[in-house]
Amino acid sequence: MIKAQRLKMLWPGQTDRRTHMEAIAKPHILLTGQSCTILSCIFFLTISYAASCKCLSDKKMFPSFLRTIPSDDYQANAIAHLVRYFQWVYVGVLAIDDAYGKSAVAQFLTESEQYGLCVAFNELMMPFSSFIYFVLKKCYLKSILLKRHFFAVWTIKQTKAEVILLYIHGTNLFFISEELVRQNITWKTWLASEAWINLNTLNVQRFGHIFDGTIDFGLYRGFVPGLRDFLLNIKPPTSQNTTRKSLPDDFWNDYLIRFWEETFNCTWKVKKERERICTGKEKLAEVSTPFIDVSKLQYSYNVYVAVYAVAHALHDVKTCKGGFGPFQNGSCAILSTLEHWQLFNKHLGVDGKLHTTAVGIFNSSASQGWKLKINESAIRWNGGAIQQRSVCSEPCQPGTRKVERKAEPFCCFDCVLCTAKEYSNETDSNECHKCVQYYWSTEMRDGCVPMPEVFLAFFDPLALALLACVLLGNVLTMAIGLQMFLYRNLPIMKDTDLTVWIPLLFSIFSCFISSLSLMGQPSGGSCRFHEAPACACLTMAHICVINMTLQLVKTSKCKIHYSLSSDVVLSRLVQQKSLCSTFAFPQIVLCVAWVLIGSTKTAKDEISIPGSLILECVRTSIIWLSCSLSYLGLMMFLSLYFALSARKLLTDSSELKFITFSILFCFLVCLAFVPAYNSIHGKMAVAVKVVAVTITAYGILGCIFLPKCYMIFVK
């Protein structure tokens, strides 16, 4: 509807009088900037009640354009707040490729970026008018339109986004709906713009399950005083013999006659018998028709506001006094309070049609945090289900960090578990934090806990097994010593010198006991006695073996003249009486000094075994250990040398053979100990030391004394 009125007024900046015209325009008349530009050039003051494009707010291009509907800026702001309210971070956008769609989407994206919105896709569709649709349909080319919408709907189907924002016109909506039905997309939640939410397309039954649960911001539903009474009193012409041809050629009358016939199921011209003739006296109040429903007026209310805005503007122009005008140095007009955007929810009714319910309100002038008010209990989502979540990736739980996917939006990411000794205790953490020293991350990587201390405790199952072996060795040593003492007078024991065998048994017993110093929790005091006693006892055992070898040579029945022996060293050592004291003294002095002044301390190792804190005794200097082990190795080589030399003199001596076996066994233990000790850490390394000392003692005890016991009991 376009109305024009001539007013004689003086335009600002002009000295002549010109014609002033006002136009109240239908929604689709002024959707394009070209139409508004043309009207502005001929000084049309244009007031639109449905054109919401942001482009029309440019006063340089459209100086005489006004509207009673908010700009798309406010609608985009409202939708952005809505997306933030429901925590939808991954949203798809499908818009029409024109000024309306582009500007609205651009504004929505600008507003939403502040709240961390991630756009799954942003597709533009080519617009087309109803005329193009009519032509293609007549030419049986409707499939062309469907193909144009196929790819857009296919994108919607493939995306992970559960919420789709549609900025389109009604003609596109029909084909989009057809394609949605064909591809059976019924699980999405739709955000609608005001341009299509009230179209009759949504009332088609086969589209109901598609758009069930749709959320939209619509124009405020206002009340027009007297409109219902006016509609109830409308009557068509009632003259006799009234026909459509005799009625004035007026669109309103033609529409009214058609409406009357369909509403009351009658006709103005009898074409068939038994047809009911319209009298014009039928009452609209007695029938159910949406024609008289004035409870949901949106565009009609905007038209009402537009007409009254023009009327009041003309009245103000006529009554405005100088110095009180709307321009500089005075104002005549008062800015009326504007109604807010209303939030509507479309839900499928029992009749298979979509029904609209107001569920909230958006006030752009309110303070931050109070602009959007929603009654969530009144919202019915798609299929009656709970609110859908629209995310590309689920939030990363504590213990993980986000790693963005390449060539995808920033809200599409993978959750990677934090590495060992790292943690994250927040959701959607961008990085993992390192645990402090001596702390280790939990299994879920959501915190840090003290590392478990690792050492060979006495109550440890491994330590208990080793203690059992040590105890058994001590019992066997004492039993063998007691046996040899009780049977010392037997003929087979006549060549046995107790002064040689008892020190050897005592040194073996000491080896078993010294292995206990390696166990337990390391401390400042225990670390001093960690390795020195074991080295001293093993050295004493081999010195006693040397002494036993020399004693066997000395008491042999062969009556060898040592002075004539080819082994000068052996012949001289046989004549020595204090050999044990001489060989043992350097090692005893060295070990005592090692205990007293050696710098051995407790240390914590968190590297060797990840997740465990190893408590160990660490030597600050290897001099003491090197000297002690070197002297022990010298005694082992001397004992082997003397045993082999003695066997050359006493070829029939079985005891020398067993002594040689015991020494060779000790060498094998040493060769196995070195690689085993260097390849493990923690309490197992300590256990290897205990096993090495214990096995060495068992080897000497078994190879030398078990054959003797066998001879006593059997022979």
**DSSP one-letter string for 204-252:** SGGGTTTSTT-EEEE---B--TTHHHHHHT------TT--TTTS-S-HH
What local confidence, expressed as pLDDT, does residue 7 receive?
A: 29
> Residue 135: what pLDDT?
54
Confidence category of residue 140, pLDDT binned at 50, 70, 90: very low
- Residue 425: partners with Cβ closer than 8 Å, 6 or more residues away: 398, 446, 447
The reported pTM is 0.57
Which two tokens mark 446? 């959501």
Minimum mean pLDDT range among 224-238, 422-436, 468-482, 525-539:
224-238
At position 131, the amino acid (one-letter code) is: F
User: In the structure, what pLDDT confidence band is assigned to residue 20 with cuts at 50, 70 and 90?
Assistant: very low
Enumerate the β-bridge partners of residue 233: none
pLDDT band at 674 (very low <50, low <70, confident <90, very high): confident
| Among 108, 116, 87, residue whose Cα is nearest residue 409 | 116
Predicted confidence at residue 569, as pLDDT, reads 55
- Cα-based distances in Å from 548 to 78, 113, 552, 571: 102, 92, 6, 14
H or E element, residue 452? none
**What is the tens place of the pLDDT at every residue in 87-134?**
888 888 888 888 778 888 888 888 887 878 888 888 888 776 555 555
In angstroms, rounded to a whole number, what is the distance separating the alpha carbons of residues 9 and 313?
13
pLDDT at position 683 is 86
The architecture in CATH of the region 72-220+338-384 reads 3-Layer(aba) Sandwich (3.40)
- Residues linked to residue 344 through DSSP beta bridges, in sequence order: 216, 358
Q: Contact, 90 vs 120, CB < 8 A?
A: yes
Distance CA 668, CA 48 (A): 104
Q: Average of pLDDT values for 556-571?
A: 49
What are the residues facing 93 on neighbouring strands? 122, 165
Is the pLDDT score of 379 beyond 60?
Answer: yes
Convert the pLDDT of each residue in 503-528 to its tens digit.
Answer: 899 999 999 999 888 888 888 888 88
Helix (H) or strand (E) holding 438: none
Instruction: Extract the tokens encoding 111.
Output: 């507003």
The CATH 3.40.50.2300 portion of the chain extends over 72-220+338-384
How does residue 259 score in pLDDT terms, banded at 50, 70 and 90?
confident
What angle in degrees, to the nearest 10, is found between the helix axes of 498-514 and 461-486? 170
Whether residue 617 has pLDDT greater than 50: yes
Confidence at 170, pLDDT banded by 50, 70, 90: confident
| Kind plus residue range of the DSSP H or E element containing 19 | strand 17-19
Select the more confidently predicted residue: 7 or 97.
97
DSSP 336: P
Residue 151, pLDDT above cutoff 50? yes
Angle at 263 between CA 261 and CA 266, to 5 degrees: 35
d(CA 346, CA 380): 8
What band does 668 get if pLDDT is binned at 50, 70 and 90?
A: very high
- Among 201, 195, 200, residue whose Cα is nearest residue 216: 195
SS3 per-residue string spanning 120-182: EEEEEECCCCHHHHHHHHHCCCHHHHHHHHHHHHHHHHHCCCCEEEEECCHHHHHHHHHHHHH
Q: Is the pLDDT of residue 306 over 70?
A: yes
- Give yes or no for residue 442 having a pLDDT over 80: yes
- Determine the Cα–Cα distance for residues 209 and 180; give it in Å rounded to an integer: 10
d(CA 653, CA 15): 145
pLDDT one-digit tens code per residue, 565-585:
445 555 555 555 566 778 888
pLDDT at position 675 is: 83
Residue 14 has pLDDT above 80, yes or no: no
Where residue 82 falls among pLDDT bands split at 50, 70, 90? confident
Which of 98-102, 200-204, 222-226, 561-565 is the most confident on average?
A: 98-102
Contact 168, 125 (CB under 8 A): yes
Length of the chain: 715
Question: Which residues, in sequence order, are bridge partners of residue 45?
Answer: 22
* pLDDT computed for residue 129 by the predictor: 56
DSSP SS3 for 526: helix
- pLDDT tier at 697, thresholds 50, 70, 90: very high
Assign domain 461-555+569-714 to a CATH class: mainly alpha
- Binned at pLDDT 50, 70 and 90, residue 447 comes out as very high
Q: How far apart are CA 394 and CA 415, in angstroms?
A: 9
CA atoms within 13 A on the CB side of 62: 22
Q: Is 457 helix (H, G, I), strand (E, B) or coil?
A: coil
Distance, CA of 594 to CA of 80 (rounded, Å) = 78
Q: What average pLDDT does the structure give for the chain? A: 76
Which tokens in the block code for residue 15?
A: 């000295």
- Pair of tokens at residue 442: 């939990």
The segment(s) of the chain belonging to CATH 1.20.1070.10 are 461-555+569-714
Check pLDDT > 80 for residue 51: no
Question: How much is the pLDDT for 200?
Answer: 65
Q: How many whole angstroms separate alpha carbon 11 and alpha carbon 23? A: 18
Which residue in the block uniquely carries the two structure tokens 């057809």? Answer: 178
Q: What is the DSSP string of 3-14?
A: -----EEE-TT-
Distance CA 361, CA 502 (A): 103
Average the pLDDT over 483-507 and give the result: 79
Top pLDDT among 246 and 311 is at 311
